[in-house]
Amino acid sequence: MSGKYATETLEATKSGIARAAEILRAGALVAVPTETVYGLAARADSDDAVARIYEAKGRPSFNPLIVHVASIEQAKKLADFEPEAERLAAEHWPGPLTLVLPRKEGAGLADAVTAGLPTIALRMPDHPVMQALLAEAGVPLAAPSANRSGFISPTSAQHVLASLEGRIDAVVDGGECSAGVESTIVAVRADGSVEELRPGPLDIASGTGGKGGVEAPGQLASHYAPGKPVRLDAKHADSDEFMIGFRDVGGDCSLSAEGNLGEAASRLYACLHLAAASEKPRIAVAPIPEEGIGKAINDRLRRAATPAD
């Protein structure tokens, strides 16, 4: 093992979660499972703890973090909830929906959490381990995906360790994430209009306009990069390609042989991690239908296929 920190792997048990909460309260970093991907958590009210997230990930400081909350009441202390925001939270929380809302002044959060923006991204996760940690830590937790900036998001504790071992204090091993792609992000503007900033497991904003316009500042065109060229909409692999299949297109790894898009989302990052680690220098991916969660899968695949500038 190398790196600045001896990264502990904790079990998702009462004692493991109690230890993780203790580490978090002390201002250190713990990777935690959520229903979407593993998050790299730190107390959101500490400048030092939040600075450590940016350092561990190598994340640019202009890219704000999602703040995770235990309840709508806790969220309301941090942001202004217009009726539309209230409705969305009541309908979809806990769940894979992040709301970008006007930030409340004087709420006691580290400035770096919102990277100087007047808005804040809030999410109440639907995962027993993250919920238990939020309850025990007693403070909102900032948590971006637990990967080095620009790399593939983690859906298992092994993915987290491959990217961040030695750079963080602990990871709670809660098995594989069920949804598999990051939360849907929508901004609710002061006039109540809703704008989708990142497609995800929930299809919220279809038909409300604003798509393809403003984006989350961290959604760079090249993101989720496996470190090799990626070819999309492939029906067959060339001999030097690791093939990620779907439905009747087979491969070295299949997102879903049955053509189930939910299963494909939950397996997306695991297949990309296998492809990144394989000896093949290139990656090919079968066509994925642009419907439902398929839109989020294709969004991540297009970014994985865009070379960094």
Q: Which residues bind Mg ion (CB under 5 A)?
A: 145
Nearest residue to 228 via CA among 274, 264, 265, 294: 274
Nearest distance, CB of residue 179 and Mg ion, angstroms: 14
Amino acid, res. 122: L
Nearest residue to 29 via CA among 130, 168, 203: 168
> How far apart, in whole angstroms, are the C-alpha atoms of residue 228 and residue 122?
33
| Residue 120 interacting partner from Mg ion, ligand TXA, none (CB closer than 5 to 8 Å by kind) | ligand TXA
| Residue 37 interacting partner from Mg ion, ligand TXA, none (CB closer than 5 to 8 Å by kind) | ligand TXA
Nearest distance, CB of residue 270 and Mg ion, angstroms: 16
Binding flag, residue 37, ligand TXA (CB under 6 A): yes
Contact set for ligand TXA, span 172-231 (CB under 6 A): 182-183, 185, 197, 216-219
Instruction: Say which DSSP state 168 is in.
Output: S
**Which residue among 10, 23, 24, 34 contacts ligand TXA (CB under 6 A)?**
34
**Which residue among 31, 52, 53, 114 contacts ligand TXA (CB under 6 A)?**
114
Binding flag, residue 33, ligand TXA (CB under 6 A): no
Q: In the complex with Mg ion, which residue's Cβ is closer, 131 or 183?
A: 183
Q: In the complex with ligand TXA, which residue's Cβ is closer, 259 or 262?
A: 262
Instruction: Say which DSSP state 167 is in.
Output: T
Q: In the complex with ligand TXA, which residue's Cβ is closer, 36 or 256?
A: 36
E-strand stretches of the chain: 8-11, 30-32, 39-43, 66-68, 97-102, 119-123, 141-142, 170-173, 184-188, 194-198, 230-231, 241-245, 253-254, 282-285
> How far apart, in whole angstroms, are the C-alpha atoms of residue 142 and residue 267?
25
Nearest distance, CB of residue 168 and ligand TXA, angstroms: 14
Amino acid, res. 69: V
| Residue 183 interacting partner from ligand TXA, Mg ion, none (CB closer than 5 to 8 Å by kind) | ligand TXA
CA 282 distance to own-chain centroid: 25
Binding flag, residue 145, ligand TXA (CB under 6 A): yes
3-state helix, strand, coil in the chain (%, to 5): 30, 20, 50
Binding flag, residue 98, ligand TXA (CB under 6 A): yes
Give contact residues for ligand TXA (rule: CB under 6 A).
34, 36-37, 39, 63-66, 96, 98, 100, 114, 117, 119-121, 123, 143-145, 182-183, 185, 197, 216-219
